[in-house]
Structure formats: C-alpha cells, structure tokens
Amino acid sequence: MPIINLKVSGQEDPALAQELAKTISRLTKDILNKKPEVTVVTVTFVPDYLWFVNSVSLAQLKTKSFHLDIKISDSTNLKANKAKYIDAVHCSLASILGNIHPVSYTAIQEMKADAYGYEGLTIEYKYINNQKK
C-alpha cells in the first residue's frame, strides 16, 4: 500500500537507514493505520554539499534535512491524521538526525485507488474483492 521515499542529507549510513525505515514504518502503521507487510521504505542519502536551501548548501549551513514522500490510497485518512503524521515524522527525524533545517518536508500524495496497486492489481480491485468475502 504505502510506498515511502525518504531522502536524507549526509553520507550513506546503512545503520541509520535501518533506524529511519523502522521509525517511518512504525509511524505509518500507528498514525495512518497502514499495514506493515505492504509498506515499502526506500532511503537515499544526498551529500550535504549537494543539498541547497535558498541556494546555500547544508554543508555551509552546518545542518541536516530530509524530504519524505509517501503515497497512500486516496480518502483513507482524515486531515487530522495526516497533520499528526507530518508532525510526528518531523519530530522523530529531528530526534534521530539532530540539528535539522526547518525546511525539511513531508509530502503525502493520495493516489486514486484505480490508479495504484501492487501484485499487478489495483487497490480498488483488492478493496472490492475483499468486500465479497
């Protein structure tokens, strides 16, 4: 169901990537009620000298940043849940990464159920099929 792409400033660190993936997966389950068994998280590291805010690199600013992009099925979460998720992601990643720049983003993309899926089937098809059981 959810696919999560997390970009983090800094050098590649497999242990940090694992910690971030676990944290994001837990928040996604606990706040957005998404099933862990179909939650995918990818973590990409971008060197501080290649990440810019207002044309100034994070290396120069001596800070960290992240951008989390999550795709979920349309209309499966309330505005309050999405706001809580964005806050929890920000607080959790700030705690893990340390000094993060205020311009660190979380983007929730809501995908139409007939245009999104896994196992070669749309979410809409899976939903309808599960209703028949």
Element holding 45 (H helix, E strand): strand 40-46
DSSP single-letter state for residue 111: E
Binning the chain into helix, strand and coil, the percentages to the nearest 5 are 45, 30, 25
**In contact, 123 and 116? CB cutoff 8 Å:** yes
Q: What is the mean pLDDT of the chain?
A: 95
Q: Looking at the DSSP assignment, which residues form a beta bridge with residue 57?
A: 52
Q: How far from 105 is each of 15, 24, 44, CA to CA, in Å?
A: 22, 14, 15
pLDDT tens digits, one per residue of 3-15: 999 999 999 999 9
- Given a cut of 70, is residue 133 above it in pLDDT? no
Residue boundaries of the structural domains of the chain: 3-131
Q: Given this model, what pLDDT does residue 20 score? A: 98
Q: pLDDT exceeding 70 applies to what percent of the chain?
A: 99
Residue 60: CB atoms within 10 Å: 12
pLDDT tens digits, one per residue of 76-125: 899 999 999 999 999 999 999 999 999 999 999 999 988 888 889 888 88
**CATH superfamily membership of 3-131:** Macrophage Migration Inhibitory Factor (3.30.429.10)
* Long-range contact set of residues 56-62: C-beta below 8 Å, sequence gap at least 24: 58/9, 58/101, 61/101, 62/99
* Residue 45 token pair: 């590291």
